[in-house]
Structure 1
Amino acid sequence: MNQVSAFYTGPGQLVEAISSALDAAGVDRTALRPADLAAVDEFHIRGRRATLEIIEALAVTADSRVLDLGSGLGGPARTLAEVAGCTVTGVDLTPEFCQAAAALSEWTGLSGRTRFQVGDATATGLPDESVDAVMTVHVAMNIPDKPALYAEAFRVLRPGGRFVAYDVLQGEGGEVHYPVPWAADSSTSFPATLEDVRRLLPSAGLDDMSEIDSSDESLSWFQHMRAKIQREGPPPVTFAAFLGDGFAQMAANQVANLAERRIRTVMFVCTKT
């Protein structure tokens, strides 16, 4: 199994674990909406709030076909399908994530507008110019060949379509503290610098680039989340469902990484002309 996929693969039965946690909390799965699952399937810094910013930047309509590269448990894809009414294909390296994403879409009534397939974000096998927009959310940190990732986004995107990448970047404060939610150590972690991305995206043919640095908001989000958990207790199901007992240390390291400027969160918005 690929090292990255192995990191995200838990002891198995992820769908059953999420289902049991929801049942134990008395959550009615027949009435679930995507927002109800955000604590587990919006697996990125600033969660659903960041996803809504991405959706606005994508500028899609109900007729749009969108590709989510590195779709994980499918939270952003479902939120996009619900908010914009479009159809979304998610591609992810981890089979267990794709299986769980399909189940969560079924629970939220969005199976008809979302589908998930196991695959490589740098070589999806999808036809050229077959989608109206592409997004990738906290994925590039696990991919050493970023030129291939951005080239694939360019290839599948129709002319005039948008590519939005929201990623964790290497900051100026020093090496990342590990473990973090995307890697146990540096062997599967490849965060780019801001200068790297500014160079690589245009090199792939993606232009009209804008960027939004949300690093300060990200630190505030973590602090708010920690205070809320201390006050109210954790949600019924969280990222610990697949990251295990080490998640608490990962979250603590993320706060330190942001506070010490070892990482930055930045959203890039590009078009293919």
Structure 2
Amino acid sequence: MTGGVKKHYSGSGSLADRIAGALRAKGLEPSSLTPADFEAVDEFHFRGRAATLELASLMQLTAASKVLDIGAGLGGVARTLAETAGCHVTGIDLTPELCAAAAEISGWLGMSDQTEFVQGDATSLPFADGAFDAAITAHAAMNIPRKDRMYAEARRVLRPGGSFVAYDILQGEGGAMLYPAPWAAEPSISHLATPQEMRTLLQGAGFTLLKTIDSTHDSLRWLEQRTASGGTAEAVPVTAKLLFGTSYREMVQNQLRALRERRMLTCSFLCAA
């Protein structure tokens, strides 16, 4: 399974170089930008930076917080948390190319001291028990079949009372998901949980579930607005286009239909360790 996931997100060549080239083609110098400017590059979960800020407000972070971002991708969530709370964030991702690009982007933005990125498996985290004050995962668990291990590991590396937020795409009641999707070109690497399964998994891992937020309607409105100018507007994330090429247009249309028909949901779960 992990080989297929790595291949899906790897693309070809240096991802950081391709991102820099795409930005410069638009007249933008990467090192002159801010973390917020990178939203279309590194926060390609539903509702982007706005969703990250909402989740951050639930986590009640301080400058002293040590935070783990599970499935960090290009590091957008990690940098937003580090920038807004002043905390240190460690990101972990299965795909080496994403980790390398995340570290390079942090370097462009002068955030290497506040963020670090480690290649590793969410179901076997390379960190000590109780190493973090808070943890977050955004749109990562869709590729992980052993979610019980993922959430058990998240619980293990959190100190008692630490906060955990899971923001993911879930299986809805409207029928089977449509593929290709941004996280899976075909169903074999897609593993969507239902909301009830998520509650059972999180509680089974030892978390206390404090709050559940269904943001599906907001995600649909967001995606409709971003594609209103005809299929996939320029606002569609640069990185998604670089990774998936022309197939991204079909992915967007499949997501629009799946959200409208509630085949897929976007939900957040706030928990206490």
What displacement does 1:228 show? 5.3
Is this contact kept in 2: 1:10–1:244, CA < 8 A? no
| 1:59 corresponds to | 60
**Displacement of 1:230:** 7.2
Q: Secondary structure at the match of 2:245?
A: helix
Q: In the alignment, is the contact (CA less than 8 A) between 2:231 and 2:249 conserved in 1?
A: no
Describe how 1:113-152 pairs up with structure 2 within 5 A.
113-152=114-153
The 8 Å contact of residues 43 and 72 in structure 1, kept in 2 or not, is answered as: no
Report the equivalent of 1:29.
Answer: 30
Contact kept, 8 Å, 1:98 with 1:118, in 2: the verdict is: yes
What is the RMSD of the two structures over their aligned residues, measured on CA atoms?
A: 1.6
Alignment of 1:82-101 (within 5 A): 82-101=83-102
Unaligned runs of 5+ in 2: none
- Stretches of structure 1 that go unaligned for 5 or more consecutive residues are none
Amino acid at match of 1:190: H
Q: Match of 2:87, as an amino acid?
A: C
Distance change >3 Å, CA 166–CA 231, structure 1 → 2: closer
Equivalent pair of 2:172/2:265 in contact (CA under 8 Å): yes
What is the alpha-carbon distance in structure 2 between the residues aligned to residue 228 and residue 206 of structure 1? 43
Structure 2 residue aligned with 1:248: 249
Shift of 1:249: 0.8
Give the Å deviation of 1:233.
3.8
Cα distance in 2 between the residues matched to 1:158 and 1:9: 33
SS of alignment partner, residue 239 of structure 1: helix
Q: Secondary structure in 2 aligned to 1:16?
A: helix
* Structure 2 Cα separation of the partners of residues 201 and 209 of structure 1: 11
User: 1:215: Cα distance to partner?
Assistant: 0.3
> Compared with structure 1, are the counterparts of its residues 13 and 211 closer, same or farther at alpha carbon in structure 2 (3 Å cutoff)?
same
Task: Please state whether the residue corresponding to 1:211 is helix, strand or coil.
Answer: strand
Q: 1:229 to 1:60 in 2, by over 3 A?
A: farther
Distance 1:219 1:139 in 2: 19
User: CA deviation digits over 1:178-222, x for unaligned, max 9?
Assistant: 000000111000000011011111111100421000000000000
Quick check: 2:179–2:186 contact (8 Å CA) kept in 1?
yes
Contact 1:25/1:236, CA 8 A, preserved across alignment: no
Tell me the CA shift for residue 49 of structure 1. Answer: 1.0
Q: CA deviation at 1:238?
A: 3.9
Cα distance in 2 for residues equivalent to 1:235 and 1:252 = 12
How has the CA–CA distance of structure 1 residues 3 and 236 changed in structure 2, closer, same or farther, with 3 Å as cutoff?
Answer: closer
**What residue identity is the alignment partner of 1:42?**
E
CA positional deviation for 1:32: 1.2
- One-letter identity of the residue aligned with 2:30: R
Task: Describe the SS at the equivalent of 1:212.
Answer: strand
Whether 1:104 and 2:94 are equivalent positions in the alignment is: no
Q: 1:236 to 1:248 in 2, by over 3 A?
A: closer
Q: What SS class does the counterpart of residue 116 from structure 1 fall into?
A: strand
Partners of 1:130 and 1:157 within 8 A in 2 = yes
TM-score (norm 2): 0.96
- 2:173 partner amino acid: E
Aligned residues: 272
Distance 1:265 1:219 in 2: 9
Q: CA deviation at 1:229?
A: 6.8
Percentage of matched positions with identical amino acids:
51
Structure 2 match to 1:266? 267
Task: Compute the displacement of 1:236 (Å).
Answer: 8.4
Shift of residue 147 of structure 1? 0.5
| CA deviation vs aligned residue, 1:242-273 (integer Å, no higher than 9, x gap) | 1222111111111011001100000000001x
Deviation at 1:46, TM superposition (A): 1.0
